[in-house]
Every structure is written in structure tokens, then in C-alpha cells.
Amino acid sequence: MNTNQNTHRSKLETEAREWLHKRGVTMQDMAELVYHLQAKYHDNLTMEECISNVDKVLGKREVQHAIMTGIQLDVLAEKQQLDSPLQETIAADESLYGIDEVVALSIVNVYGSIGFTNFGYIDKIKPGILKELNEPKPGVVHTFLDDIVGAIAAAASSRLAHSQADDILLDD
Ligand code: MG
């Protein structure tokens, strides 16, 4: 399968991909989450297919916007540049602050509502990169990033499931 179909990238898409990379999240990391979610449902699922589906998700404008918005808030919180009390709330990833999940939902739904189930599941299990992102490190804020990455994997899993059902309208 060609994993490089998406060759005409906007500035927004290029930046969104770059920001994920700069924050330590690779295509391989996200593809592994998709594999984790989908391997039991698809015989002979390959990492190439997982990467290809993540790639398609990253091509969606609403996904790029969510990535940029969430990562920007994480970075500003790391630099202590938000106003109080939002600064403390985001820096501490307070459990009653749910806007990180709300931002992630704009990603989850791009390939239909089965992404929602995948998102809830992966957020609970936290495999691979999600576990790493959730380990507290001094001076590092991943309040938005963990949900964004989980949501990208959930949406890619949803796309994979629909594509195996021959849905030709997937990326319209
Ligand atoms: Mg979070």
C-alpha cells in the first residue's frame, strides 16, 4: 500500500505534522496504537495499513486545527505563559478540566461515531506512546497532546474499519 499518497500538503498540515514530531510523537507511535485497536478485527493487518490510515487522518483540516490548538496550549503552559487560573489548571492536568477531551472529539468524529468507542477504550488502556505521554515529567505538559494522539489513533481505526467495508466515500 502506498503510504505517501498525500503529497500536496498545506502549510497548516505541514506544521501540524511537524508539531506532533517536535512533541515526540511519530507516525510509528500512532500506527502502533491503531494496530493495538484493530489487529483483533482484521486478519493480516500490517503496520503499513495502520500508517496509511494515520496519514489520511492527518490530512483533515479539522484534525490539523485540533493538533495546533492543543499543542499550543500545552507549550504555553510549559512556558508559564497562560493567565491564572488556566495556567495552573492545564499545567496540573486537573481531572475536572475536560476541554482537552473536547478538543480531541473534533478528531474522533471525522470518520464517524465508531471512533468514539475506540477513543474511550484507548484512553482507558493507554498503550504505547499514550503511557509515555501520561508519565509526569517536571516542566513537561502533555494535557492536550495525549488526548489528541489517542483521538488520531481512534479516528484512523475507524477509517480502517470503514475502508475494509469498501466505503468509497471515506475522504470526501
Ligand atoms: Mg489530557
Q: Which residues contact 9 (CB under 8 A, 6 or more apart)?
A: 17, 59
Q: How far is the CA of 103 from the centre of ligand 1 (A)?
A: 10
Q: Estimate the crossing angle of helix 61-78 against helix 47-58, to 10 degrees.
A: 80
CA distance 136 to 139: 9
Q: What is the pLDDT of residue 2?
A: 45
Q: Which residues contact 114 (CB under 8 A, 6 or more apart)?
A: 157, 158, 161, 162
Q: How far is the CA of 95 from the centre of ligand 1 (A)?
A: 9
Q: How far is the CA of 102 from the centre of ligand 1 (A)?
A: 10
Tell me if 112 is assigned to some domain: yes
Residue range of the domain that includes 155: 11-164
Q: How far is the CA of 167 from the centre of ligand 1 (A)?
A: 32
Q: How far is the CA of 7 from the centre of ligand 1 (A)?
A: 31
Q: What is the pLDDT of residue 62?
A: 94
Cβ burial 116-131 (10 Å sphere, 16+ → b, else e): bebbeebbeeeebbbe
Output the domain CATH number for residue 140: 1.10.3760.10
Q: Rg of the chain's alpha carbons, rounded to an integer?
A: 16
Residue type, 22: K
Q: How far is the CA of 172 from the centre of ligand 1 (A)?
A: 30
Tell me if 52 is assigned to some domain: yes
Tell me if 171 is assigned to some domain: no
Q: What is the pLDDT of residue 3?
A: 46
Q: pLDDT tens track of the chain, all 172 residues? A: 444 455 678 999 999 999 999 999 999 999 999 999 999 999 899 999 999 999 999 999 999 999 999 999 999 999 999 999 999 999 999 999 999 999 999 999 888 888 899 999 999 999 999 999 999 999 999 999 999 999 999 999 999 998 887 766 567 5
Tell me if 113 is assigned to some domain: yes
Domain count, the chain: 1
pTM of the model: 0.92
- Whose CA is closest to 152, among 27, 11, 8, 14? 27
Q: What is the pLDDT of residue 164?
A: 80
